[in-house]
Amino acid sequence: MGSSGDGGIAKRLWKKFKNERALALYSPFVICLASGTLDSNSFVRCISQDVFFLEAYAQAYELAEEYADDEEDKEAIIKLRKRVLKRLKNQDALICEWGFEPPKESVRDNATLKCTEFLMETASGKVGEEKFSVKMVTPFEKTKLAAYTLSAISPCMRLYSFISKEIQALLDPDDNEHIYKKWLNSLSSQKFEASASRIEDLLDKLSISLTGEELDVVERLYHRAMKLELEFIWSQPVVQQTIVPFSRLQNRAEDNLIIFCDFDLTCTAIDSSALLAELAIVASTNVSETQLSLAPPADIRTTWNDLFRQ
């Protein structure tokens, strides 16, 4: 029941939640990172949380391995866990390779805690109001739990692959001055893409035998994981203001978000000029008698409306 003409469930869900990925891509943290102006302390603080995510992934994969009934699925999960453990072991070396000093200690922040707790609850059999007793479930139910666990991991890997590739597409490939280029290269690499795809492929395979109701659970878990990752990105501190430094021709078939800003670099629901004009009209009613006499506010407003309609 898990298959359709639109591809596997992982691909369908990624397409469905395009609003969430757009919110991540246009978050203050990612915009500052893309422009190269993100404070390096903010960046190191963010990637220092990787340790906690990786530890949770390793534990979740270990449980998913126990759930998987098929030997091929077990082997695939074992490989995923080994990659996570290797990545965890090399964390400090990678941070140095990206050009930064690893933090002496890392403290798990609240957004990270929410992400990892959700993952571990899901991997432990707590799905919504339902709590599975892993020792008592049937092989089929165990496969279902493995699919649920993968659905809580898959969107996180895909989201970072997406963000890094979107940024890379806007940067000059010959520009080596971008402070975060090595990190972006790592997350947009074929190796990272292969890891994200393996997780999605495994989720697709584990979901094939699920009922419609169980696929709905997969979707809810996927969406919840995406939203928690979005909260994590938006929770990252940004100590400076950044103007989006680039633009490009939009592909109407793929791009769904275009940002427009006023002359004062604000993004408002109404034209800032109209608001400023209204303020000026109101202020004109409070001028003192020593100031130059102005036209009545009603006449000024009529003139402005005539100009605005042109």
Catalytic residues: 156, 229
Q: Tell me, what amino acid is at 217? A: V
- State the virtual CA torsion across 54, 60, 64, 67 in degrees, nearest 10: 160
In this structure, are residues 30 and 24 in contact, taking their beta carbons and an 8 Å threshold?
Answer: yes
In this structure, are residues 200 and 8 in contact, taking their beta carbons and an 8 Å threshold?
Answer: yes
Burial class (CB in 10 A: 0-12, 13-18, 19+), 108: middle
Cα 188–Cα 189–Cα 192 angle in degrees, nearest 5? 90
Distance CA(41)–CA(45), nearest Å, equals 6
Cβ atoms < 10 Å from Cβ of 71: 8
Burial class (CB in 10 A: 0-12, 13-18, 19+), 159: buried
